[in-house]
Amino acid sequence: MAADTGYDLKGEIAWARRTWHSDLEGIRFGTPTKKLLAWVPAGGSIVAWAHSPSHHHCDRIELRRISGEPAAVYGDQLLVGESIVDQGFSQGREYRAWKAFSFGDVFEEGGESLRGEERDADGTWHPAGQTGTIGRENATYGVLTYVDANVARFGGTRLVLYAACARPGCKRVSVFPEEADVHFDGGFPAYPPVPPNAAVTRLDALQSHVTVWQPSGESRADTPSLHRTLAGCMRTHYPKGDGERR
């Protein structure tokens, strides 16, 4: 999330914790995104290796800072990159498909189309069109929870905080955390409506300025991650050397 220099984020987090101490127990606010962005110099790119349970098996990915028109839309607190998500042979020709991913507050799959390539007989790769993904939701693998010089771990679950009346007449308001990236049948959970309330308005403003999350609880080997070296990735996620790698 882009920073608002006029907003007292630390003060508002402290206020929310005082107001809903028990409701917010175990809930975290904010991510170490600046440390992750520091991996990539402005205008440059780096190679990293990504792990996620569904798509990445210590796959090579080139990371760069988001810029230009996308940055104007999504903010500049993102790294973006592509990795191969499918490959094989079709009609006697080798092909591979690339997918865009973003890394910032969350590790997220873009909903855009796959970019295809085919290899000629001389070994050269050439564009082979795109495969549409219309109607697909962006898949979120995890919230950024830890960064150092060698690894970034996305071991959090993104949350939304819902307010509801806890007593008749709404004399007390409670807060209920729900997973932000879960799609419920029939919509989001229905809580008793809260009349216009300054505290709830203030809580909603806080959520618009910071990522709210809780630890996902995966083992380190299963946590979606970015690594600066292939050896570090393989050692963490495939200590027995049984991982697949593209």
> Token pair of 241, please?
């050397």
Is 0.85 topped by the overall pTM?
A: no
* Sign (positive or negative) of CA dihedral 234, 236, 238, 241: positive
Residue spans per domain, the chain: 9-30+156-215, 34-142+219-236
Q: Is the pLDDT of residue 181 over 70?
A: yes
Classify the phi-psi angles of 170: left when phi > 0, otherwise alpha if psi is within -120 to 50, otherwise beta: left
User: Are the C-beta atoms of residues 79 and 37 closer than 8 Å to each other?
Assistant: yes
**pLDDT at residue 55, rounded to an integer:** 75
**Of 52, 49, 82, 39, the residue nearest 234 (C-alpha):** 49
**pLDDT at residue 36, rounded to an integer:** 95
User: Are the C-beta atoms of residues 139 and 198 closer than 8 Å to each other?
Assistant: no
Confidence of residue 78 (pLDDT cuts 50, 70, 90): confident
The model's pLDDT over 105-131, given as tens digits with 9 standing for 90+, comes to 999 887 666 777 788 888 888 877 776
> Token pair of 192, please?
């008793």
Q: Is the pLDDT of residue 161 over 50?
A: yes
Q: Is the pLDDT of residue 191 over 70?
A: no
